[in-house]
Amino acid sequence: MFSLENKKVAITGAGSGIGEAIALLFAAHGAEVHIIDLNEHQANATVAEIKQNQGQATAYLCDVSNQQSVLAVFDKIGAVDILINNAGIAHIGKADTTPEADFDRVMSVIVKGAYNCIFAAIPKLRESGGGVIVNMSSVAALSGISDRFVYSTAKGAIRSMTMSVAKDYIGENIRCNSISPARVHTPFVDGFLQKNYPDNIEEMFDKLSKTQPIGRMARPEEIATLALYLCSDEAAFITGADYPIDGGFTTLNN
């Protein structure tokens, strides 16, 4: 089950965190992995780990908000079977405390970046006779989260984008779904705590963990496992769906 043998996969933001976990898991299940990332060092490290385990992987330095760069990368990759839109950046602020430059930056990476990759990937998916797109949304698209105005806005757009793409390409054997995680323990979380709460990291980590009713953050590997299922043939009947993976955040936080 869940074999990705002979599948070519493009994953954005796979140099660390959730994207890295997806890249490693997909490679372990037989996929040829193509990593698209702005951090060349991290992307190459993921590739090296995959190859160390006898997998197939290639890294591409690319700013997903630049359509010409994205198109050039997909021309190098060629026909693909799976696209994972995972690249993103975070921002803390309310509507009246979010500078225009920060608003544009977050929307450009998360929303335009996903659009650019879908725009570039659709012809490549057609070459393969169809395939799968998975977009990384967030519980921020489903529930109100304090001080996450533009991030929530961007992730809400990702969820809507997913439904639109699923409907438009269902007749071409292209499925599109989204995943909406709650907090995931990634290097970004550790860096955020180190920067903003250097004197009480453990206390803040515990506080953030307990915002999920299950009492902890998700592991990147748990998100990757859901992505694997959605991209496998076992999920062939699933399209136009969003999957919260949130430790009860959206349903039990009453």
Taking alpha carbons only, the member of 254, 176, 191, 179 closest to residue 218 is: 179
Whether the CB-CB separation of 176 and 83 falls below 8 Å is answered with no
> How many CA atoms are closer than 13 Å to the CA of 189, on its beta-carbon side?
20
- Spatial distance between the Cα atoms of 244 and 226, rounded to a whole number of angstroms: 10
| Dist. CA 123–CA 131, nearest whole Å | 11
Q: Is 169 a catalytic residue?
A: no
Query: How many H helices and E strands in the chain?
Result: 10, 7
Q: Given 151, 169, 197, 229, which residue is catalytic?
A: 151
Map tokens 């060092």 to a residue: 41
Instruction: Give the CB-side neighbour count of residue 194, counting CA atoms within 13 A.
Output: 6
DSSP 148: B
What gap in Å lies between CA 100 and CA 166, rounded to an integer?
31
DSSP for residue 212: S
CA-wise closest residue to 18 among 116, 156, 130, 134: 134
Query: Which residues are catalytically annotated?
Result: 151
